[in-house]
A and B are shown apart, each in its own frame.
Chain A
Amino acid sequence: MSDALLLFLPLIIPAAAAVIGLFLRSQCGLQAIIGVLGSAGMLIAGLLLVARADAVGVIATQSGMWEAPFGISLVADRLAAAMVSVGGLVAFAGAIYAWRDLADGKLGPYFVPLMQFLMMGVQGSFLTGDLFNMYVWFEVMLVASFVLLTLGNKRQQLEGALKYVILNILASSLFLIGAGLIYAKLGTLNMADVAVRLAHPEQADLVRTSGVLLLAAFGLKAGLFPLFFWLPSSYHTPRPVISAIFAGLLTKVGVYALMRTTTLTFAAKAPVLLELIYVISLLTMVSGVLGAAAHFDMRRILSFHIVSQIGYIILGLAMMTPIAIAGAIFYTLHHIVLKTNLFFVSGVVNYMRGTNDLARLGGLVKATPWISVIFFVSAFSLAGIPPLSGFWAKLAIVLAGLDLKAWGAVAVALGTGVLTLFSMTKIWAEVFWKEAPEDANTTDKRTGLWPMLVPCVLFMCITIGLGIWGGYVFAYAERAAEQLLNPREYIEAVLGAGALTTDVPGAGRVHP
């Protein structure tokens, strides 16, 4: 299969599935099948992309045969390919999980098309090599997510969506300004070309403004410290399947964009940005985990934990050493799977008992040992208990911190791990371990539960597998980190060999 087709498939498949889904909106059974097929197609396309990118390095194509930097480039390095396939995996699990809700008519006729459009935006953001094009993909993703968030029209949803929508539109404006200023200064928006032009020393001081604007825009979408308030106030309001997919994927798109722009363009030219990201990452970890400690609702606790886990990933990015970046990539992949699964479990609990409030739940360990096992594995992987995947992810970040003698960062990372364990134990003790309170509803609804359990079990197996055979994935993450830290390969794949007249000062940098 040609590289061009490989790069376009993850975009064509969801677009086609969405359109077919729109035509089938009166037949929810067929629509559900389309959703599953489209997502499975994305997953397969993603895996093919990983195989190809791992074999030959960076692959790129120019849409419409307009040569870079004038046309829009689609590029996949190892990081992008991995993100595309994990995105497909989450969509696939979500499509199966949604089966129950679709059959019950709780998601309406537009869920499947919207989810496919959302995925198209997500995959586009991973694959594009152009800054303005990334803005457009972000908007595709955002508009679909706005509608998904308000599907159902409950008061709480409208309220949560209000905060989500306003703040995300604000971030989009910042993104647009940042991209516009880069064009004004450098005359290009192709990220590889931006990197080439920044290699000339006289351009160095011009891009800090854009760097900070993009940091604010991506930081808001990723849920970084002072900008994350929309996340915990909206992610617990929609149907469980929607919040699970949002929790797994959407913040990671912001994280990916940060990784891409920082390593490719800004790290070498504006090291002050890395200092800023470093401080922000620590604050993000602490504030997220403390917010979680205060709440008593499964999904609200888990939402705050997204924020704190993003802190770990961004800390890895800020440290900018090969092992730190590899750790951040591994952490991202592991966290997408894990967080989606935790939200899936909260959805199962909600389906059975009709609530996610810790005070009104209890005794699930006796009632449903299987679901308890799934939650146990995921929650304790999140907290970083060996030998689960979260342990290796945290280990890499902490090791990177020790290498750089960043004692403060190591202390914060470990302390946050302990507090994460505390909140996971809280959910475990309240929902599963303690006896159900007397006024609680203990007539468990179990009919038709299996489509919700299949993805949970699948993701639990992946979490365990990532723990036991994590070495392979980590080796892949290390190869991906190498590409990020040496942008030459990326630039030459997009612009052709010989595009670099001066040497790009690699992003590699050691944090104090």
Chain B
Amino acid sequence: MSMLIALTVGVLFATGVFCLLRRCLMRLIIGLVLLGNAANLLVFSAGGLTTGVPAVIPSGETVAPAGAADPLPQALVLTAIVIGFGLIVFSITLIHRARAASGNDDVDAFIETDQL
């Protein structure tokens, strides 16, 4: 299971970076989404990957049953997903406006603010 997650994270990172390095604005967004999800999945797996043991403390006990996954990274990831969602929505809107303003889909066309 952890190998599968590790591979998924790796593939997500690789494709995300690959998309970010393209010149097309659309791929930029896809790259950001993939990269954000790769980061989320990585943090999620930090809590341990176990099945069948819910992280619920039985009544009368004070600690979670042995082998339960740490729920804190899941809470962190939940926060990160919500924040990431907002960021992605904003950047999609921004890219849409930038494309409409410049009439160009090529990242290399956006050099006006860097030119001398």
Residues on A lying within 8 angstroms of B by beta carbon are 132, 135-136, 139, 142-143, 146-147, 150, 153, 155-156, 158-163, 165-166, 169-170, 172-174, 176-177, 179-181, 183-184, 187, 229, 232-234, 236-237, 294-296
Contacts and interface: CB of A to CB of B under 8 A. Distances in A.
B83 interface: yes
Interface in B68-102: 70, 72-73, 76, 79-80, 83, 86-87, 90-91, 94-95, 97-98, 101-102
Nearest to B77: A180
A143 B28 contact: no
B3 interface: no
Contacts, number: 102
B95 to A, nearest CB: 7
B116 interface: yes
Contacts of A150: 94, 97
Contact of A234 (B35, B76, B80, B113): B113
B18 interface: no
Interface SS majority for chain A: helix
B116 A166 contact: no
A296 B94 CA distance: 28
Given A180-B43, A180-B73, A143 B114 contact: no
Interface string B15-57: 0000010000000100010011011101101110000000000
B98 A143 contact: no
Given A150-B94, A183-B72, A166 B113 contact: no
A158 B101 contact: yes
B19 to A, nearest CB: 12
A162 B98 contact: yes
Interface residues of B, number: 35
A155 B97 CA distance: 9
Nearest to A172: B87
Given A155-B102, A163-B113, A233-B113, A180 B94 contact: no
Contacts of A170: 20, 32, 35
12 contacts: A139-B83, A139-B87, A143-B86, A155-B101, A159-B113, A165-B90, A173-B36, A173-B38, A173-B39, A180-B39, A180-B73, A184-B47
A170 B80 CA distance: 13
B36 A165 contact: no
Nearest to B102: A155
Contact of B113 (A156, A172, A187): A156
Contact of A183 (B76, B86, B95, B101): B76
A169 B32 contact: yes
B46 A181 contact: yes
B110 A159 contact: yes
Given A146-B90, A170-B20, 9 more contacts: A150-B97, A153-B97, A165-B94, A166-B91, A169-B36, A173-B39, A179-B43, A180-B42, A184-B45
Given A139-B87, A143-B86, A180-B76, A166 B35 contact: no
A283 B107 CA distance: 27
Nearest to A294: B116
Closest 9 A/B residue pairs (Cβ): A180-B43, A184-B46, A158-B98, A155-B101, A173-B39, A233-B113, A160-B113, A233-B114, A159-B110
B110 A162 contact: yes
A176 B94 contact: no
Nearest to B25: A162
A241 B28 CA distance: 30
B61 interface: no
A155 B90 CA distance: 17
A153 B28 CA distance: 21
A364 to B, nearest CB: 23
